Amino acid sequence: MRALVFLLLVAVASAKMYERCELARALKADGMDGHGTSLSGWVCLAYHESRFHTDAKNSANSDGSTDYGIFQINNRWWCTDGKWNNNGCGISCSALSNLQTSIRCAKHIVNNHHTGIRAWVAWVNHCQGDTSSYIKGCKL
């Protein structure tokens, strides 16, 4: 029982809602600038996928899959929650409430998915053009 309480506290403690510039700084520090897209492209993606919430969860996908974390990484292909057999990032979906875990998985997706950053529909629909406004004034 104590282990379960500890795990729940760790999960809650790692969930966070970032401010735009705070997220930009964190993503830059973890090497996301130019990794599949520009830093502003990643901030744009996080905004359109989760509104900068690391614990975001979307179960409304037409195939019955669920998206997790700040980048809304899908359980059908990239993480495990017990529903699907694929686990491309080798992680539990609940671990995606941690920004660094989401970053590692997003890098893996960009490097190992045949479409790269285009794996995210939100990037295709909202972040392909000039995204410089997403990091404007952030003093990076």
Give catalytic residue positions. 49, 67
Separation CA 65–CA 76 (nearest Å): 6
Closest to 17 in 3D by CA, of 54, 72, 67, 57: 54
Encoding tokens for residue 13?
Answer: 């403690």
Separation CA 52–CA 49 (nearest Å): 8
> How large is the angle between the packed helices 20-29 and 39-50, nearest 10 degrees?
130
Q: Where are the alpha helices (DSSP H) in 32-98?
A: 39-50
